[in-house]
Amino acid sequence: MNLPLLLALLFGAASALHLRTDLSNVENHLGDETLPQDREMSENEAKEASVGELMQLEGGEEDGSGSEDAPVEEGALEEEDKDFQCPKEEDTAQLEGNPGCKTYRLLLIRRAMDFNQAQLTCRRCYRGNLASVHNYSTNYRIHCSVRGLNQGQVWIGGYISRWGNKRCFHWIDGSSWNFGYWASGQPSAGGGRCVTLCTRGGHWRLANCARQLPFVCSY
């Protein structure tokens, strides 16, 4: 092979190698510029979504936690009621038992208290809670035991929390809300936030949590 041809081949190979290197640099440069922009956009979008959700949650609750007509935590009740005394035995009545269920007992307290004081009494005196009602049989048992009271209603353990335009129903013992026995026109939006059982008919009504009523504990 003569020298001019060899030089031409070497020059062509060098040119091709230089062109491939330039293209690789261009690709790397474009990749370094575009990928961080894509990641930054994703992070910003996620941040904007999180802030939007947070604003929606913060602005969604209509009622502040300081509402007077609302159940309060047990610790706060204990601080406020240092002279607490359990009801006397003559102020209580054991409700008729449910056949086959020995672990769920009900006790009527005839002494009138507000919702929070009633719950505190159930907790501290009987190691229970205001009664949750999950079926008609339990509701009927309570009704049969309280219909002789001169009060029109008794506290059970239901209460309402509000979130925006929605009302959420809870049992104070944390059990699921799977049964209701509301009176006609109930639950009324302006009726209060705590649930009572009517001594006539056994239906439920909402009442202001500060009302003084007899109550039923479960333990």
Q: Name the residue ranges covered by the structural domains of the chain.
A: 1-60, 74-218
- Residue 52 pLDDT greater than 60, yes or no: no
What is the token pair recorded at 86?
């359990």
Alpha helices in the chain (DSSP H): 3-60, 74-80, 115-126, 136-146
The pTM for the full model equals 0.65
Please name the residues in contact with 170: beta carbons below 8 A apart, sequence gap of 6 or more: 158, 159, 160, 161, 177
- Residue 95 pLDDT greater than 90, yes or no: no
Kindly report, residue by residue over 17-43, the tens digit of the pLDDT: 444 444 444 444 434 433 333 333 333
Nearest to 85 by CA among 128, 127, 120: 120
User: Count of CB atoms within 10 A of residue 177's CB?
Assistant: 13
User: For 74-218, CATH number?
Assistant: 3.10.100.10
Q: What number is the average pLDDT over the span 47-63? A: 31
**138: left (phi > 0), else alpha (psi -120 to 50), else beta?**
alpha
